[in-house]
């Protein structure tokens, strides 16, 4: 029906025949205006298929559109391209500038993505900072790799975030897959594999899906499941590598290094599983076990008359997680180990991920009486200003500097600078990965205090360390092998 104001209204009409009723003698029409209800229904239907923040199609509608495009591709000659776009560093913007700024950034990105494609293509949001572009099979469409490049370009333009008074620049990683015969699920899964690869290769790039990525992903998945089981079955053990005073040759401590006794693949080194443990957060229970076992062993050596400092590697996720301080406290209490015997090694990169949070965490750990070492120093991007703020006892200079020290003046100059820095800040320096006598000699010339490396000892099992401690004990003074 047309309303007096000219608008059309959706109505429901009920007609009742009362012609035989002497009081009425006619037909009664009851009319309800349903416009508001219809509008609400329409709104709800829209909401069910669109993302509330950006108003882009959500996962359900993306799947539906992809289905339709694939059907069209099969009827014609084209293919459908799916691009998974994931913003690099979105979490950082959200965490540091606030959610209002994060929302504004996502809205801007949504608009820019839409500007890159044509009307028949679909831009959707999967949630978080993940977007999808579906490119229509129309053969006149622009090639998908060009679109991927354009996406990188438009996202690279600075974004104003008035909420925070800041301008930020974001980059994205893009996984690209092309489909025709397969299912929607396969197409999107392939794009996801490619995205994973793009992120792994470093950010701000796009990667086209290849079948080998699926195999790698399956391997990774299998390893993940096995790792999950390994935690329950306690398939891990520790080796210990001694560290030395470079002038007295005394053992200054040992570093606990994890190994996985894999039921089929044999003994695996940390590089083969620690990255996966970090991604899946299994590093938290694994790290807890390492801490417990290392402290138990250190206490046992102490009791047997070979007191020796114990270093344990702590990963970025362990540091970021709330329970670390309690874990350390509990393990120290259980083992009865003197806290000063324990050193926690944290890589420079882990510390730099969130400097303010790391400072707070380190201070809390330090308050327990343990020592702190920065591992792989020189490979991250520390600023000296921060180094002063961290309560650090030891800098472990990364192996990459030591390997060049005997042959390269530049490497030697870096060591000499780091040693001087340590002296100024009252931090001990320890050189990692000493393999050759010439390297040792050079480090002694530079007055680096401690060292670790195959030249002295490889990582050893418990009896190996015990032999070592006894041999060192007899070789040097009885007070040897103290931290
Ligand atoms: P890292 O903490 O820097 O440990 C030193 C690594 O260098 C060890 O490798 C050690 O075997 C190796 N290394 C020592 N001396 C030499 C040398 O002279 N030459 C060469 N080429 N290598 C030497 P590993 O045991 O394979 O451990 C690798 C990394 O895995 C460690 O580096 C550490 O970051 C991580 N990791 C080991 N155990 C744990 C653990 O329990 N928890 C965590 N979160 N990470 C661990
Ligand atoms: Mg270490
Ligand atoms: Mg290291």
Whole-angstrom Cα distance, residue 62 to residue 300? 60
For ligand 3, an ion, list residues with CB under 5 A. 375-376, 432
Whole-angstrom Cα distance, residue 405 to residue 414? 9
Tokens read off for 367: 């308050």
Give the CA dihedral 396, 400, 402, 406, nearest 10 degrees: -170
Q: How far is CA 127 from the centre of its chain?
A: 18
Whole-angstrom Cα distance, residue 283 to residue 213? 24
* Closest ligand 1 atom number to CA of residue 318: 44
- CA-nearest residue for atom 45, ligand 1, is 313
pLDDT at 473: 54
Q: Give the Å distance between the CA of 375 and the centre of ligand 2.
A: 5
Give the CA dihedral 242, 245, 247, 249, nearest 10 degrees: -30
Q: Give the Å distance between the CA of 377 and the centre of ligand 3.
A: 8
Q: Which of 270, 276, 321, 372 has the most ligand 1 atoms within 8 A of CB, as the residue to mutate? A: 270
Q: Does ligand 1 have an atom closer than 6 angstroms to the CB of 136?
A: no
Q: Give the Å distance between the CA of 241 and the centre of ligand 1.
A: 9
Q: Which of 234, 243, 257 has the most ligand 1 atoms within 8 A of CB, as the residue to mutate? A: 257
Whole-angstrom Cα distance, residue 410 to residue 6? 83
Strands (E), 315-469: 342-347, 371-377, 394-397, 428-431, 450-451
Q: Does ligand 1 have an atom closer than 6 angstroms to the CB of 348?
A: no
Q: Give the Å distance between the CA of 254 and the centre of ligand 3.
A: 13
Helix (H, G, I), strand (E, B) or coil at 60: helix
pLDDT at 483: 32
pLDDT digit string (tens) for the chain, length 483 residues: 999 999 999 999 999 999 999 999 999 999 999 999 999 999 999 999 999 999 999 999 999 999 999 999 999 888 999 999 999 888 888 888 999 999 999 999 999 999 999 999 999 999 899 999 999 998 777 899 999 999 999 999 999 998 888 898 888 999 999 999 999 999 999 999 999 999 988 778 999 999 888 888 888 889 999 999 999 998 999 999 999 999 998 899 999 999 999 999 999 999 999 989 998 899 999 999 999 999 999 999 999 999 999 999 999 999 988 899 999 999 999 999 999 999 999 998 888 888 888 999 999 999 999 999 999 998 877 767 778 888 999 999 999 999 989 888 888 898 999 999 999 999 999 999 999 999 999 999 999 999 999 999 999 999 999 988 887 654 444 333 333
* Closest ligand 1 atom number to CA of residue 435: 18
* Closest ligand 1 atom number to CA of residue 454: 18
pLDDT at 95: 86
């Amino acid at each position: 029906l047309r309303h007096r104001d000219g608008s059309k209204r959706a109505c429901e009409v009920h007609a009742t025949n009362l012609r035989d009723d002497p009081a009425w003698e006619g037909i009664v029409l009851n009319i309800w205006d349903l416009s508001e209800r219809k509008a609400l229904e329409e709104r709800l239907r829209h909401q069910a298929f669109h993302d509330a923040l950006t108003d882009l199609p959500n996962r359900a509608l993306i799947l539906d559109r992809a289905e339709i495009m694939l059907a069209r591709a099969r009827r014609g000659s084209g293919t459908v391209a799916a691009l998974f776009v994931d913003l690099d560093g979105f979490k950082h913007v959200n965490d540091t500038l606030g959610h209002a700024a994060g929302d504004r950034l996502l809205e801007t990105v949504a608009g820019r993505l839409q500007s890159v494609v044509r009307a028949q293509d679909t831009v959707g949001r999967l949630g978080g900072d993940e977007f999808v572009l579906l490119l229509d099979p129309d053969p006149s469409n622009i090639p998908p790799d060009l679109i991927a490049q354009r996406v990188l370009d438009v996202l690279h333009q600075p974004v104003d975030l008035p909420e925070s008074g800041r301008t930020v620049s974001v980059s994205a990683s893009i996984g690209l897959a092309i489909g025709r015969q397969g299912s929607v699920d396969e197409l999107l899964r392939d794009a996801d594999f490619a995205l994973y690869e793009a992120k792994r290769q470093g950010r701000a790039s796009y990667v086209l899906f290849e079948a080998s990525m699926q195999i790698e992903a399956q391997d990774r998945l299998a390893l993940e499941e096995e790792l999950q089981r390994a935690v329950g079955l306690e398939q891990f053990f520790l080796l210990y590598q001694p560290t030395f005073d470079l002038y007295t040759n005394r053992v200054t401590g040992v570093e606990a290094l994890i190994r996985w006794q894999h039921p089929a693949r044999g003994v695996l080194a940390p590089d083969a599983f620690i990255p996966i443990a970090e991604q899946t957060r299994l590093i938290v229970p694994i790290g807890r076990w390492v801490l417990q076992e290392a402290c138990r062993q250190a206490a046992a050596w102490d009791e047997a008359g070979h007191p020796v400092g114990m270093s344990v590697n702590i990963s970025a996720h362990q540091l970021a997680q709330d329970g670390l301080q309690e874990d350390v406290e509990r393990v120290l209490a259980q083992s009865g180990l003197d806290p000063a015997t324990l050193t926690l090694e944290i890589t420079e990169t882990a510390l730099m991920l969130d400097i303010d949070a790391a400072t707070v965490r380190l201070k809390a750990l330090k308050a327990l009486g343990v020592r702190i070492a920065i591992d792989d120093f020189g490979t991250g991007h520390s600023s000296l200003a921060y180094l002063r703020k961290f309560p650090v006892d030891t800098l472990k200079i990364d192996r990459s500097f030591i390997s060049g020290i005997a042959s390269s003046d530049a490497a030697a100059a870096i060591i000499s600078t780091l040693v001087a820095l340590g002296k100024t800040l009252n931090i001990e320096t320890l050189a990692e990965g000493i393999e050759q006598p010439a390297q040792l000699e050079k480090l002694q010339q530079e007055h680096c205090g401690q060292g670790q490396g195959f030249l002295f000892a490889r990582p050893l099992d418990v009896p190996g360390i015990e032999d070592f401690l006894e041999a060192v004990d007899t070789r040097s003074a009885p007070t040897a092998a103290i931290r």
